[in-house]
Amino acid sequence: MNTDKAHKFTDLIREQVLKSGSRNAFARELGVSNATLINWERGNTTPDRESLIRVANKTGYTINELLGMIDPSVEPPSVERILRELELLPREDIARVIRKATDMLIDG
C-alpha cells in the first residue's frame, strides 16, 4: 500500500475517525478493534472482506472504489462482463440483481 491511492484510503479512514468523534467510536461502528483501525490508518494492513463492506456502508463508497484505493491494480468489472455473467444466472438471481440495482438507483 505505498501508492497515492493507498494514501487516499488511509486519509479516508482518518477522515471517518474525525467524523465519528474518536478512533474508538469509529472502530466500534465498524466492529473492529482500535488496533486494527490504527493498522489501516498506517497502511500496515488492509480490511478483510466483511470489514471492507462495513467501511463501504459507512463511507458511501463502493467496494470497488475502496479496493481501487487500496490496490490500484484492481479494476472494476466492465458492464460487458457483468452482462455476460448475468446471462448465466437463473431467473430468480437475475430478479434479485434487478431489485438491488433498482434500490441503488432509488437510494442514490
Give the mean pLDDT per block of 10 residues along the chain (108 residues). 65 94 95 95 91 94 88 77 90 94 86
Residue carrying the nine cell digits 437475475 = 94
Of 98, 68, 84, 81, the residue nearest 1 (C-alpha) = 68
Q: What is the DSSP string of 35-57?
A: HHHHHHHHTS----HHHHHHHHH
Task: Give the pLDDT score at 107.
Answer: 83
Task: Give the pLDDT score at 28.
Answer: 96
Task: Give the pLDDT score at 6.
Answer: 55
Q: Chain-centre distance of CA 92, in angstroms?
A: 26
Report pTM. 0.65
